[in-house]
Chains A and B, each alone.
Chain A
Amino acid sequence: MSDFGSLLKKIFIYEEKVKDEGFILKDKASSASSDIDTIDEGSDDNNESGKNSKSSSSMQRDEPDPQKKPVSIDIENNLINIKKIFSYPDNSDFVIRKFVINLNSKNTKTFVVFFDGLVDRDVVDRDILQPMMVMSQLKDVQCKGSPVNCILRHLLPQNQTKLYDNFEETVDDILTGSCAIFVNGSSQVIISDVKGWEHRNVERPNTEMVIRGPQEGFTEIVRINTALIRKIVRDDKLIAENIPVGKRSKTPCTIMYIKDIANKRLVDEVRRRLKSLNVDYVIDSGEIEQLIEDNTFLPAPQVLATERPDRVASLIVEGRVAIVVNGSPFVLVVPVTLFELLRSAEDTYIRFPYSNFVRFIRLFGTVLALILPALYIAITTFHQEMIPTDLLLAIENSREKVPFPSVIEILIMELSFELIREAGVRIPTPIGPTLGIIGALILGQAAVSASIVSPILIIIVALTGIGSFAIPSFSLSFAVRILRFIYILLAALAGFLGITAGLFILLLWLASSKSFGVRFLAPIAPLTSDDLTQVLSRAPIWKQEMRPDFLNTFKRKQQAYISRSWINRGKNKRVR
């Protein structure tokens, strides 16, 4: 009966809803604590706790950073310190395993620490815990000196071990998947490399497919990526230099170059820029690219990002420097020129005539993607006399029922196309075909039938889209897509004059830009005659004797003047 009563009460009597969400995100922890004090005013206990929290925070401020401490000879101190650093036991994936080993007929306290998931558990059990716990008991290990050296010499069957005497380096290694072994009576800690986290295997590259050439792509693991490059280059002078980036993340980065080919000043500059980065976290090479590039506002990228190890290898042997970032399947290469961005890895693998043909097609595609819609606007708005009469009549006939001026018409279509493109990237795979149907039917056929756009415009937009897909560099393709809209507006304002002004300003901008000290339009501007054959076309493979002049490499010659020695059979050898 009382339930019925309360039900009636709920129906007929209004009650203010009690705010059960009391949390307010304040900008500082101290203000949050003072806020709690005010909320719970009247409660002595809470006031006390507030005071305690304040005093504890002031105590925290006075305490030295545990990471700055040296490794203590007393294992208990080390254990307390490690627990503090890794917030144990709050950190559920942090493992501390304590045990005792028998050294010099004495039980010695030991513990190992590692992150579950970052290490290979089998390796830890089989190659660290088992030998130390079981072997030390079976065999009475007798040795002089530090206990850690004794363990390294007799008990640890591991190939990659290091000794540290401070917590800072120890913590970095634990975070990158190593296991730290603390032994009582030693002021050093053994670091054993037992990385074993889950990762993607080497697969085909997703964005730089080729028909002819290697089919391997980079993964997210820095060491696998460096190995993929080293596997191709196989040069004892190939250096892989580690530079951690990110004050907190300490993301492992490796710069790779060939010591006696790459210009030392270039390597120094890459090292300087990477080391100078003062950021907390770095997740992907895309962030590093933005942090080290010369000009943020230039539309074109000044760093080459590729997921092909063979492409990186071919650029390293030319004298460039690669930057491999852990966690990114895209390796960065510097310096880069505009013409390098228009090349594909396949260019070198296919024969000379085919290579030049595809390069020409690619260039044609780039020009189409950049200015075709603008040319259409300019011709139809200002320079109609250029169009042959029959074609002019056909265009006019198709545009007769369209209510918009050409510029509005093309902006609608270009924006729709960009929308489809962006949605296409985000759309889940199972519903991908739906987008194709929407794009093809609604924005193509239906728009024409409804007289929103003219059929000729669909052809223009389609050609522009196809042209932009022919650009090998993903970043350059972005630049072209953005600039296209500017050229459309310029063409709508002043026809060919507007387009020329836009192209002239862009050329000036590109001509004044640099990528790691190399002019972006090299080898045309500045002009270096040796490299001219390699700008838009490609010389036959046996004619590519020199490395690019603008890279100022230690060794310019990359192959003999007569690289095909077989052609000299029975003749005097030409020497140059």
Chain B
Amino acid sequence: MKTIIKFGKWEMSAILINAMSTKVFLNFPRTALEVGGTAGWILILYVTLLSIIGFLIIYMLYKRFNGKDLIDISEYLAGSVGRIISGLIIITVLTLMIIVILREFSEDMKTITLISSPLSFVMIFFAAAMAVGAYFGIEAIARCHVIIVPIIVAAYFLIIVGVLPQSDFSQIFPLLGSGTDKIFLQGTVRMSFFAELLILFLLTSFAKDNKTVKKAGIISLTATGLFFLMVVIVYISLFPYPSDLENFLPLYQIARLIDYGRFLQRVESIFVLIWSSAAFLFLSVSFYLLIHIFTKTFRIKHYKPLILPFTAIIYALSFIPDGLPEIVQIDAYFVHKYFFIVTFIFTILLYAAANIKSAGRRRDTSDA
């Protein structure tokens, strides 16, 4: 008998908050400023609002299909062909997300602390945590999120509060930064900052009910938007704008400024603990979902035998980008620029088509 795993809104929200916010520890604040200039925070407000609206639209369309994830919906729409096409799209998206996070975190970790260790060695720790996470399954991963995410959030606030005395909020001027067209027109694609919301529509079968999905979506989008907003404002206020665009790992640079008195001056190494925990959580949940979607797409009964080969594939694929600049480029100008197409447009189209089909069937049944 297969065990039925169901999560409440806190588990679901914790997974989504971590999945969407992990990029805060990477180059996200810099990317936001590159797009919106000193008005990067307005960009964040704008895309958060757009994403919440996008989510509510998806939720309205999803409501009728309680517990059905994107693969189920695709199968409902176009049978096995639909299931396989959707599955491949989602597998590609997840694989790219995992590769980017795995490589970027490993590169950054090597640059910051493990200077003399080879990249392949550093990457082993992330890959191992990812594989073990998938082995223990989504329930254990979700439970870990509930424990670790509040600690990460607390550490994040500690960093933000710790540097507040050094902030100069006059640096948010000029208020509209790069200009309204860059923020409100070109910036729309930056809904991709919330591209990881896709995970919610892959986890719907684990949600207790529709309300859980709705609450988790709204809570996570709001919380993540808030974290983004805070980090961007603090980042702008700490460094002059030209330096903002040059800093490698903005949040790490922020953490380096912490000065809690003579004894606690260099606490950024503790940041490594928090930082790697966030990466482990993200990698394990995405990797589990990657295998879960693969097994669901190709109707494979067991997922555990796939863990090792998939880990090896992901590990090998992560070495394809030449170096840190290239992987940052892929992250900022591909994954978190265009992936909103899959998370929002593709999802809306799927659920909308399913609604139309369902309505058509109902009409047919009532006519008959």
**A525, B143: Cβ atoms under 8 Å?**
yes
In the complex, what residue of chain B is closest to A519 when comparing beta carbons? B143
A505–B267 Cα distance when bound, in Å, is: 24
User: Is there a chain A Cβ closer than 8 Å to B162's Cβ?
Assistant: no
A525–B284 Cα distance when bound, in Å, is: 17
Query: B129, B266, B276: which contacts A505 (Cβ < 8 A)?
Result: B129
In the complex, what residue of chain A is closest to B266 when comparing beta carbons? A385
**A504, B129: Cβ atoms under 8 Å?**
yes
**A500, B144: Cβ atoms under 8 Å?**
no
A496–B262 Cα distance when bound, in Å, is: 23
Q: Using Cβ atoms and an 8 Å threshold, which residues of chain A touch B137? A: 512
A505–B281 Cα distance when bound, in Å, is: 11
**B11, A507: Cβ atoms under 8 Å?**
no
> B203 → chain A, closest Cβ, in Å?
16
In the complex, what residue of chain A is closest to B131 when comparing beta carbons? A505
User: Is there a chain B Cβ closer than 8 Å to A499's Cβ?
Assistant: yes
Query: A379, A388, A495, A511: which contacts B140 (Cβ < 8 A)?
Result: A511
> B340 → chain A, closest Cβ, in Å?
30
A385–B267 Cα distance when bound, in Å, is: 9
**A524, B276: Cβ atoms under 8 Å?**
no
User: Is there a chain B Cβ closer than 8 Å to A469's Cβ?
Assistant: no
For window 482-537 of A, CB contacts with B under 8 Å fall at 494-501, 504-505, 507-509, 511-512, 519, 521, 524-527
**A508, B141: Cβ atoms under 8 Å?**
yes
Mark contacts of B1-22 with chain A using CB atoms, 8 A cut-off: 1 yes-contact digit, 0 otherwise. 0000000101100000000000
In the complex, what residue of chain B is closest to A386 when comparing beta carbons? B269
In the complex, what residue of chain B is closest to A507 when comparing beta carbons? B144
Q: A385-B269, A500-B280 are in contact. Are A494 and B114 (CB under 8 A)?
A: yes
A507–B8 Cα distance when bound, in Å, is: 20
Q: A383-B113, A501-B276, A512-B140 are in contact. Are A494 and B125 (CB under 8 A)?
A: yes
A526–B129 Cα distance when bound, in Å, is: 21
**A496, B113: Cβ atoms under 8 Å?**
yes
User: Is there a chain B Cβ closer than 8 Å to A382's Cβ?
Assistant: yes
In the complex, what residue of chain A is closest to B117 when comparing beta carbons? A494
In the complex, what residue of chain A is closest to B114 when comparing beta carbons? A494
Q: A511-B143, A511-B144, A512-B140 are in contact. Are A501 and B128 (CB under 8 A)?
A: yes
Q: A508-B140, A509-B136 are in contact. Are A500 and B146 (CB under 8 A)?
A: no
Query: B11, B117, B270: which contacts A527 (Cβ < 8 A)?
Result: B11
Q: Interface residues of B, CB < 8 Å — how many?
A: 39
Q: Using Cβ atoms and an 8 Å threshold, which residues of chain B touch A508? A: 132-133, 136, 140-141, 144, 284
Q: Using Cβ atoms and an 8 Å threshold, which residues of chain A touch B133? A: 504, 508
A386–B271 Cα distance when bound, in Å, is: 11
Query: A497, A507, A512: which contacts B147 (Cβ < 8 A)?
Result: A507
Query: A382, A501, A521: which contacts B129 (Cβ < 8 A)?
Result: A501
For window 243-270 of B, CB contacts with A under 8 Å fall at 262-263, 265-267, 269-270
Query: A382, A383, A498: which contacts B125 (Cβ < 8 A)?
Result: A498
Interface class of chain B by DSSP: helix
**A525, B146: Cβ atoms under 8 Å?**
yes
A508–B137 Cα distance when bound, in Å, is: 9
A507–B141 Cα distance when bound, in Å, is: 9
User: Is there a chain A Cβ closer than 8 Å to B230's Cβ?
Assistant: no
User: Is there a chain A Cβ closer than 8 Å to B93's Cβ?
Assistant: no
A499–B272 Cα distance when bound, in Å, is: 10
Q: Interface residues of A, CB < 8 Å — how many?
A: 27
A524–B14 Cα distance when bound, in Å, is: 13
**B113, A382: Cβ atoms under 8 Å?**
yes
Query: A386, A494, A511, A524: which contacts B266 (Cβ < 8 A)?
Result: A386
User: Is there a chain A Cβ closer than 8 Å to B273's Cβ?
Assistant: yes
> B357 → chain A, closest Cβ, in Å?
36
**B266, A497: Cβ atoms under 8 Å?**
no
A521–B263 Cα distance when bound, in Å, is: 35
**A512, B136: Cβ atoms under 8 Å?**
yes
Q: Using Cβ atoms and an 8 Å threshold, which residues of chain B touch A521? A: 143, 147
A385–B121 Cα distance when bound, in Å, is: 23
Q: Using Cβ atoms and an 8 Å threshold, which residues of chain A touch B136? A: 508-509, 511-512
Q: A508-B141, A511-B144, A527-B11 are in contact. Are A388 and B129 (CB under 8 A)?
A: no
Q: Using Cβ atoms and an 8 Å threshold, which residues of chain B touch A525? A: 143-144, 146-147
A525–B267 Cα distance when bound, in Å, is: 29
Query: A500, A512, A519: which contacts B272 (Cβ < 8 A)?
Result: A500
Q: A505-B129, A511-B144, A521-B143 are in contact. Are A496 and B122 (CB under 8 A)?
A: no
> A198 → chain B, closest Cβ, in Å?
50
Q: Using Cβ atoms and an 8 Å threshold, which residues of chain B touch A496? A: 113, 269-270, 272-273, 276
A494–B125 Cα distance when bound, in Å, is: 9
> B122 → chain A, closest Cβ, in Å?
7
User: Is there a chain A Cβ closer than 8 Å to B192's Cβ?
Assistant: no
User: Is there a chain A Cβ closer than 8 Å to B75's Cβ?
Assistant: no
Query: B10, B109, B265, B270: which contacts A497 (Cβ < 8 A)?
Result: B109
User: Is there a chain A Cβ closer than 8 Å to B34's Cβ?
Assistant: no
User: Is there a chain A Cβ closer than 8 Å to B27's Cβ?
Assistant: no
Q: A496-B273, A500-B280 are in contact. Are A388 and B113 (CB under 8 A)?
A: no
Q: Using Cβ atoms and an 8 Å threshold, which residues of chain B touch A526? A: 8, 11, 143, 146
User: Is there a chain A Cβ closer than 8 Å to B277's Cβ?
Assistant: yes
User: Is there a chain A Cβ closer than 8 Å to B209's Cβ?
Assistant: no
Q: A504-B280, A519-B143, A527-B11 are in contact. Are A497 and B272 (CB under 8 A)?
A: yes
A106–B284 Cα distance when bound, in Å, is: 86
Q: A494-B122, A496-B273, A497-B276 are in contact. Are A527 and B114 (CB under 8 A)?
A: no
> A384 → chain B, closest Cβ, in Å?
9
> A496 → chain B, closest Cβ, in Å?
4
**B144, A504: Cβ atoms under 8 Å?**
yes
Q: Using Cβ atoms and an 8 Å threshold, which residues of chain A touch B273? A: 496, 499-500
Query: B11, B114, B121, B284: which contacts A382 (Cβ < 8 A)?
Result: B114
User: Is there a chain A Cβ closer than 8 Å to B148's Cβ?
Assistant: yes
User: Is there a chain A Cβ closer than 8 Å to B139's Cβ?
Assistant: yes
A431–B132 Cα distance when bound, in Å, is: 48
**B144, A495: Cβ atoms under 8 Å?**
no
Mark contacts of A462-487 with chain B using CB atoms, 8 A cut-off: 1 yes-contact digit, 0 otherwise. 00000000000000000000000000
In the complex, what residue of chain B is closest to A382 when comparing beta carbons? B113
Q: Using Cβ atoms and an 8 Å threshold, which residues of chain B touch A512? A: 136-137, 139-140, 143
Interface centre among B129, B137, B263 (most CB of A within 10 A): B129
Q: Using Cβ atoms and an 8 Å threshold, which residues of chain A touch B144? A: 504, 507-508, 511, 525
- In the complex, 9 of the A-B residue pairs with CB atoms within 8 angstroms, ordered by the A residue number, are A382-B113, A496-B273, A498-B125, A504-B277, A504-B281, A511-B136, A511-B140, A524-B147, A526-B8
Question: Apart from A388-B265, A505-B129, what 19 extra A-B contacts exist at CB < 8 Å?
Answer: A382-B113, A386-B266, A494-B117, A495-B272, A496-B113, A496-B269, A496-B273, A497-B122, A497-B272, A500-B277, A500-B280, A501-B276, A504-B277, A507-B144, A509-B136, A512-B139, A525-B143, A525-B146, A526-B11
Nearest 3 Cβ contacts at the A-B interface: A525-B143, A512-B140, A511-B143
Question: Taking beta carbons and an 8 Å cutoff, which residues of A are in contact with B?
Answer: 379, 382-383, 385-386, 388, 494-501, 504-505, 507-509, 511-512, 519, 521, 524-527
